Structure 1
């Protein structure tokens, strides 16, 4: 049975790997044209399920195997009695192999095929069968104009395998890309369907393995693993004799003048996410607010780094950076933290100070940059980070020997050993201040409860994203603190406190 949108595989591959999987299927005895027929049928079935009352189809076809899939979908629609047209953007006479056979079958079936022009009218459901996964450079004409026409049509759009113009490996729109409502993809999930610009282009994802067997995938390494509830690391249940000393002591450091709220968000999240004890070091002026907001936290008003020293000897995990600022106060506290041999989470201004070279990152760290911070840490532009988010995450992890959470649409978690995890959940309403402070506090709490850095980062990112997705249903105006009770609930559902 094919996988549905709720049953997507965990494994994510590069485009070249998926082409190798396709070649394996053919070498194992499945003709290429039969695979093309299976892909077309999967696409047709998903299309009809999504738009059950539709009766008209416009296919925009290029000149590769992606076009072949499109011609065969047109055949299925024609047989079903739909009004069907294929607009050939790539010249049909240049089609080769299985794609040429598909074109011939469409003609034999009586499908109307005509050359595409900018004046061509798009009607019904639009099928994007223009460009496949082999695209590397920016989209050129006439494909650029065809993609622009699709996006301007306002019609429902289904993409075959990948929205044309979207890079299968990076999720970057190569100049421009089709914005599909539904993408039906085959054999192996491409990493680029889940990060970067993919969120604006892919729409609903439906996967079909084209009847590949588990042996087909043997010895082909993943480029990343997609996080879901079934493969997340879990906190163990707590014994009846548990006490606070078993679940770590998190110290959160930050909150310079004008930024006191950030560190309080992190502190409350750490407390609500299961840390045994929570301490806070911030500007003395913020202590009354801290005691009012989180009376369970031990609050230290720190005017200098010297006041941190005795506390650093008592805690098990540090979270540094929310509201820290980049002035002398923040630099001094960060320097003290950097010299502590403890697992740490660095976020926000801790990362900006790290990028400036005034401090070095200690061992056993998780860093949580957004794309702008990642760019500063790597000495490149934000656009370059976004152009290849997986490469940026790996580069950061290697440069700093740390677990890296590269935030954004399709957040990535990279380990220095090469592991890469991806979380594509979330909601546009999460585009608001304070969400990163919540994630930092959550990650610190999971570290304190015994998880290693990669496990803690994966679980934290998933909980954070799914809490945001739940609260995002209420629309704009999401506040970072709205996530905290939902994170607590999701964590209990995922890993109950009691057996």
Structure 2
């Protein structure tokens, strides 16, 4: 999905909350039909901006308010001289209230409305006005066939409010969903537009609040916050008299036989993101490579957990898991870490071992599962995690009393107190090994510099995603180590070392 414009609001809501906001606007004196007209005008403006040379429009309309928006957009297009057709997938006789009024107004001005059939020909820009945010179950016929026809058309596609078939609360594709190049959404930004399967369906996202005011949103709790450059937690600038002892000592633990590179990536990132001191505990065989690759780190060849004990007394933050493995060596080192009363980041095999044997995590711990690891921790299937990513992230944070970073498209950061943040940036080129190791080292370094667990996770995820977006523009072949200098630069831009 292209990077979403930063005119988007930070507050994210569930579909029921947005319906409540809509009802409040009407109760405050704005007629529902006026809101529908505002939505149609916003959609029409975005559509013309996106495809300025277009002159034909096909609207596929259902039988709810989403359809009403579509009929009014068709009317605006016809007034502008476009060739317009509306294909009614839902029976127009079932339209009620404002949607029925929109249908009647379109007919009165001669908009061509026909019943949709499988053989119907689509032309020009296709506007999806089929199903709105109320959809929760799988898409049924004839809507599934209509969505399939839209996706197979090869034509430019815009969606009103949300691509039909995408769950507004979770971002899950409900069997089948429209793949739009443009989505225009209203009043409150739905969380499902920015996580889960959304990136494959939403395209460019445009938001219009339909003139909602601050009073409209009063006492409506925010479901999540969208991370952007303007609202990120900040890392404090450094005093001129600063020294390494003020910025923490990170110990990174991992790198079993065959996995030495993972812990070195984490170590490099911890150094490059500002930790005062960095130590590394890994297999003795990997120490020469560590000294060559990261000479600034203090490398310990640890054959047993006993060799960690003295070092654990000297450090301030642990990062455990990259390349740790699940054999006896990794289990012993993880057990030693779990008993240390230090802020920690658990990643990769530390999470796989945690799924096998529950332990109480230390205070100020961050865990960073991908969906498969999250599924093992929750003892459910990966598909269940992906079906409701926000719920899975919050469940994990409560289960382990830890800050959770649920990685994937639309990464989520959950706090045990119910706070939820979302980062929707990133790039498909980031689908490569080692990026999680970089993220773990980055979170550890931010913890070492005094950030609390939730803030450190939010800032790290945003830096990591935007570095990936920046480097992903060069295309395939992104290596995890490519992110390290890009993250360092972004961190300095976001939080300069000197005031």
* TM-score (normalised: structure 2): 0.99
| CA deviation after TM superposition for structure 1 residue 5, in Å | 2.8
Matches within 5 A, 1:255-334: 255-334=255-334
Q: In structure 2, how many angstroms separate the alpha carbons of the residues matched to 1:30 and 1:154?
A: 38
Q: Are the counterparts in 2 of residues 366 and 404 from structure 1 also a CA contact under 8 Å?
A: yes
Q: Distance in 1 between matches of 2:207 and 2:492?
A: 30
Q: What SS is found at the alignment partner of 1:231?
A: coil
2:206 aligned with 1:200: no
Secondary structure in structure 1 of the residue aligned to 2:230 = coil
* Alignment deviations for residues 367-422 of structure 1 (CA, whole Å, 9 cap, x no partner): 00000000000000000000000000000000000000000000000000000000
Give secondary structure in 1 for the equivalent of 2:337. helix
The residue aligned with 1:464 is: 464
Task: Determine helix, strand or coil for the equivalent of 1:101.
Answer: helix
Q: Say if 2:490 is the partner of 1:490.
A: yes
Secondary structure in structure 1 of the residue aligned to 2:281: strand
Partners of 2:279 and 2:7 in 1: CA distance? 41
User: Pairwise mapping of residues 92-131 of structure 1 onto structure 2 (< 5 A)?
Assistant: 92-131=92-131
Deviates more, 1:23-32 or 1:351-360: 351-360
Partner of 1:420: 420
In the alignment, which residue of structure 2 is the partner of 1:14?
14
Distance 2:359 2:11 in 1: 37
1:63-142 → structure 2 map (5 Å cutoff): 63-142=63-142
Query: Contact 2:6 / 2:228 at 8 angstroms: preserved in 1?
Result: no
- Structure 2, unmatched stretches of 5+, are none
Does the CA-based 8 Å contact 1:64-1:132 persist in structure 2? yes
Q: How many pairs align?
A: 496
* Alpha-carbon distance in structure 2 between the residues aligned to 1:85 and 1:348: 53
SS in 2 for 1:183: strand
Write the distance in 1 (CA, Å) between the matches of 2:140 and 2:393. Answer: 29
> Which residue matches 2:233?
233
Q: Residue in 1 aligned with 2:254?
A: 254
Identify the residue that residue 409 of structure 2 maps to in structure 1: 409
Give, in whole Å, the separation in 2 of the partners of 1:175 and 1:303.
Answer: 50
Query: 2:344 aligned with 1:344, yes or no?
Result: yes
What is the Cα deviation at residue 218 of structure 1? 1.0
For the residues of structure 2 that align with 1:364 and 1:339, how far apart are their CA atoms? 14
Q: Which runs of 4+ in 1 moved over 6 A?
A: none
Tell me whether 351-360 or 146-155 shows the greater mean CA deviation: 351-360
2:350, 2:151 → 1: CA distance? 41
What is the DSSP-based 3-state SS (H/G/I as helix, E as strand, rest coil) of the residue aligned with 1:127? Answer: strand
Counterparts of 2:153 and 2:448, CA distance in 1: 52
TM score, norm. by length of structure 1:
0.99
Q: Does 1:476 align with 2:481?
A: no
- The whole-number CA distance in structure 2 between the counterparts of 1:100 and 1:249 is 66
Q: Distance in 1 between matches of 2:75 and 2:5?
A: 25
Which residue is equivalent to 2:383?
Answer: 383
- Deviation at 1:359? 4.4
Cα drift, residue 362 of structure 1: 2.3
Provide the residue aligned with 1:397 in structure 2.
Answer: 397
In the alignment, structure 1 segments of 5+ residues that lack a partner are none
CA deviation string 1:274-308 (max 9, x = no partner)? 00000000000000110011000000000000000
Q: Are 2:14 and 1:39 equivalent residues in the alignment?
A: no
CA deviation map 1:159-179 (0-9, x unaligned): 000000000000000111001
- How far apart, in 2, do the equivalents of 1:458 and 1:426 lie? 14
CA distance in 2, matches of 1:187, 1:493: 32
